[in-house]
Amino acid sequence: MKSSIIILVMLTLLIACKEEKTSFINKYFDLKTTISNQINILNTKKPSFNKTVWSNNIPETKLIKIEDWSKELELFVQTDLNKPAYLNSYDISQSDSTIVYTLKAKENLPVKMVKIYLQKGAFTALEATITNENYLYETNKHIKMTLANGVVDYYLIEGTQKLVFGDKKAFKIEAKAQK
């Protein structure tokens, strides 16, 4: 009898824990799903992009077809604010055409700002600032993405990185869809 009560209690707790996990509602714009949808579209369409990488302030541009868009746009997925640890960490400013999330002063999270551009309620562009600091390095990144006809047509990743025993180095990657 006692063992069946214990099993019943354990099952009830398990179900309650599972319900708690699935009941998390997105407080912020759902960038994870939005960017994942773009990754699926790009992986299907396989568009060509003119991609420019700056090394030592010298640009090198190549026309490429990106094979793994999930890897290419990983940093954009990381800007999603709908993580339990991020809940209530951002001030929200909204208009008909933009939503701006700014990290509150007392918070210490890597995503400092996200600005989402909308046209008639549809996602059209994104800007974000991300910083990471620890004892070994410091990185600052600014990213942008724009869509044309509902598909990514431009993205930019630029910033600086400084290792504890090195100089600050700038980096920049820019890609534009070939028309």
Tell me the pLDDT tens digit for each residue of 121-154. 899 999 999 999 888 989 999 999 999 999 999 9
pLDDT of 1? 52
Is 40 a residue whose pLDDT tops 80?
yes
- The length of the chain in residues reads 179
How many domains would you assign to the chain?
1
Is 85 a residue whose pLDDT tops 60?
yes
Judge whether 178 and 52 are in contact, CB under 8 Å. no
In a domain, 155, yes or no: yes
Pairing of strands 90-94, 58-65: unpaired
Strand partners, 160: 140, 170
The answer to whether the pTM exceeds 0.85 is no
In a domain, 15, yes or no: no
Quick count: other Cβ atoms within 10 Å of Cβ 146?
16
In a domain, 8, yes or no: no
pLDDT of 24? 54
Percent pLDDT > 70 in the chain is 87
In a domain, 5, yes or no: no
Judge whether 104 and 91 are in contact, CB under 8 Å. yes
pLDDT of 179? 80
27 three-state secondary structure: coil
Strand partners, 1: none
Is 29 a residue whose pLDDT tops 60?
yes
Is 7 a residue whose pLDDT tops 60?
no
Domain region containing 29: 25-177
In a domain, 10, yes or no: no
Judge whether 46 and 77 are in contact, CB under 8 Å. no
In a domain, 123, yes or no: yes
In a domain, 18, yes or no: no
In a domain, 65, yes or no: yes
Side by side, which strands form the sheet with 137-148?
A: 58-65, 48-55, 168-177, 151-163, 137-148, 122-133, 111-119, 98-103, 90-94
Q: Tokens 């319900």 identify what position? A: 19
Q: What is the mean pLDDT of the chain?
A: 88
pLDDT of 78? 93
Q: How confident is the model at residue 18 (pLDDT cuts 50, 70, 90)?
A: very low
